[in-house]
Structure 1
Amino acid sequence: MDMSVSGVRGRGGARKATVRAKARARPVLGWAARAGFVGRGFIYLLVGVLALQVAFADGKKGGGQADRGGALQEVAGRPFGAFVLWALGLALAGMALWRLAEAAWGVSEPEGHRVHKRLLSAARGVFYGFVAYSVLAFAVGDRGSGSGASDKQSRDVTAEVLGLPAGQWLMGAVGAGVVVAGVVMAGRAALRTYHDQLRTGRMPRRERRFVDVTGIAGGVARGLVFAAAGVFLLRAAYAYEPEKARGMDDTLRSFTETPAGPWLLVAVAVGLGLFGLYSFGVARWRRT
């Protein structure tokens, strides 16, 4: 048999096997993704509530920690808290698995097979894998990822990066990247580009309006928080002082230091809560 013909047949067989594997895995990955969006929404909703508490406490450290660790601490103190933590961790692990599958097989949206979209899915998969690990670690008793951990982790990682050769430039590049990511998040939310990822044609008008209101307000607020955190990383790099880096809790508290006082934090907190509600809508209508 001609080797070139057998090679073509081999590649064709491999492609067919991949298509069959995707078809079998798609329903499972779809449910994993939807569970992950629900988990993400639950955490953002809790962070928004905690940020409101911080705002009405005038940003003082005596309030609760408005970050993922603070949200986990809040859940742990409630009835059935351990069960909820395990459910959250597994849901976010499902999100990570779905994102990594997107990286391998392509994204379910227009031009989803482009390299940059698959790389972005891979980065998101790694991120959600880390978040899932931290939640599950908290569930089994490791409180190192608990309340206030995001601020300490930001300072520790910044100190390690600044200690590397050309670390100041590297940290500056990371900070600039986070600022750009925040601006892009806010811009995409304002332009409603998330419509490309949703089954908008099947959505009732009321639910579409709900997704747009929560998606725009929530996405802009989320982007603002990311951009502000990036600014603090840039300041830490410029001053060569890791202490200037801030996690989510300290970043949110910094909004009370603006001329708007606690009211800017109130607006951002409401926005983060709305992003949580938007995530619930995405869980239902996302193309997977």
Structure 2
Amino acid sequence: MSTVYDAAVVGSGGFLGSAIVAGLTSRSARVTGFTRQDPVLVDDALSPRAADVPVIVWAAGGITPTVAAEDPDAVAAELGAFRAFAAAAAARPAPPRIVLLSSGGAVYGRPAVPPYAETDAPAPPNAYGAYKLAQERVLAAAGLPATVMRIANAYGPGQRGAHGQGVLAIWMRAIRAGEAIALHGDGAVARDYVHADDVVDAVARIVDAPQPPPVVNVGSGTPTSLAALLELLGDAVGPDRMRVDRRPSRGVDPDSTWLDIALAREALGWEPRVPLAAGIADMWERQPR
């Protein structure tokens, strides 16, 4: 029996979730979405709209690094909700394949060194990474067919920078408000930045693949320091609009991280296509004024 939908997206109102819905729909997929107001679980079972969907993308993002560090009860509640979802999905006669948006920037850590590959043992350096790894383990314990996407620092239009997540969105919001950008430390710490359009393309390839990898990194594969990121942002907005408040290092930020994306290229035929400078300029032009 054919299903009404090709895919469902949990967290369809969020930054990446909404982009994934739009991207899959533009590729002629039949997509349904779920939010906190329209939950995927109804009476401990999958919603009728999700009951026979072959692929469910979990893009719900209620926990940010700040929330994870400051509110362990919220983390426990989110993990409980995810565990209930996994149990309901596993109880279906034909369980759906799950695509989980995890974190490549927070799940890996020492003693491994970047660029991090999927074969590196997870070693989360903070509470947020521990939360994302716990989600991955919930899926494994449920025995569901799944692909875990370990995504680098995603950015793009629609990102709000809520609760300290999304440095470019935070910086752009400060500039729009006429405020100074806060830069902690000397700007040498590097991250891996990947545009939302490239994340959507990776999701689409995983949805379409008959046997995608169980874990796959999605990033640019290139480290960019905060100092270099500031220069690129200045090029996009104009140096006259940017003021930088340089502050001492907080001493809590993770080491530089970036990802090895060879597996995504080999297994999915995927590679990032949006150059960082062009992606920042596009994000700035489309940010609310």
- Smaller-chain TM-score range? under 0.3
Q: Which has the higher contact order (CA 8 A, sep 6+)?
A: 1
More helix by share: 1
Higher strand share: 2
Normalising by the residue count of structure 2, what TM-score does the alignment of the two structures yield? 0.25
Structure showing greater Rg: 1
TM-score by length of 1: 0.25
